[in-house]
Amino acid sequence: MNITVGEKIKLLAGDDFWAGVNNVFTDFEGDLAIKFSSRIGNKTRRGRKAVGYAYRPVDKNKNKYTVTVWPEYKNKRGALLHELAHILTYVKNGTQVKGHGKEFYQNFRELFYLLGELLFDECEFFIANTCFSLNKNYKFFNLCLSASDCNDLKDKDKKFLFKLSAGEEFGYKNKSYKLYKKDPMYYLCKRKNGFGYVKINKFIKVDVYE
Ligand SMILES: [Zn+2]
């Protein structure tokens, strides 16, 4: 996919984010334009504010997709990720699947695993909202994310596993581990005084030792 990103939004999400997005969409055909739109955000649909839109081509041969997000929304990257998951669903699963159905969540999960950690630092709001709603729909988050995680981000004794480097030690469920290797979704960890390795979801919160 040929992706063009508006200047302001490009700066906001950062180079790492866009490199990741390009990787995800590279094998698909078409043009994708991503930009801010001040025309959305104050519209009410079913009692909620729309903060972003993903448009697919009306004419199948044109292959031009658009994502717009509202510049005033607090969690712009979260909105971006959500709308990009819609585009990914259009190109992978077609237009016959439900807007926020199983396929959408699978694609959201894929994007989240690749890019989610880039959103965390400023996105307590994202965790409280987007992930919490994901948790209800799709159980994979029940290990790690809930609305209370906003407080844990400020708790010095806890860190998300993805924040650690290989070789660092951490506690999880009263057991001690050492981070061995970072894979995209699960990190390979070695139990202290134990045998073999275990795969642990990189978005869990762990105890950190001083
Ligand atoms: Zn949506």
Quote the ligand 1 centre to 174 CA distance (angstroms): 38
CA distance 166 to 187: 9
Residue-level pLDDT at 110: 81
What is residue 25's predicted lDDT score, i.e. its pLDDT?
95
Beta bridge partners of 182: 187
In this prediction, residue 15 carries a pLDDT of 86
**2-143 CATH:** 3.40.390
Separation of 176 CA from ligand 1 center, angstroms? 39
How many angstroms does the Cα of residue 101 sit away from the middle of ligand 1? 10
- Output the pTM of the full model: 0.72
pLDDT at 90: 94
pLDDT at 62: 83
Report CA-CA distances (Å) from 192 to 147, 160, 179, 181, 187. Answer: 31, 19, 10, 15, 15
pLDDT at 195: 86
- Give me 130's structure tokens: 């987007």
Report the separation in Å between the CA atom of 150 and the middle of ligand 1, taken as the mean of its atom positions.
23
Question: Looking at residue 129, what is its pLDDT?
Answer: 44
**Tens place of pLDDT per residue across the chain (210 aa):** 999 999 988 988 788 889 999 999 999 999 999 999 888 766 555 666 677 899 999 887 789 999 998 888 766 777 788 899 999 999 999 989 988 888 888 888 788 777 777 665 544 444 434 444 444 443 333 333 444 444 555 566 778 888 899 999 999 989 999 999 998 778 999 999 888 899 988 877 789 887
| Structure confidence at residue 127 (pLDDT) | 47
Strands, E, within 39-105: which ranges? 44-45, 48-49, 52-55, 64-69
Q: What is the pLDDT of residue 81?
A: 84
- Dist. CA 199–CA 209, nearest whole Å: 20
Ligand 1 centre to CA of 83 (Å) is 6
Position 148 scores a pLDDT of 45
Predicted pLDDT of residue 31: 96
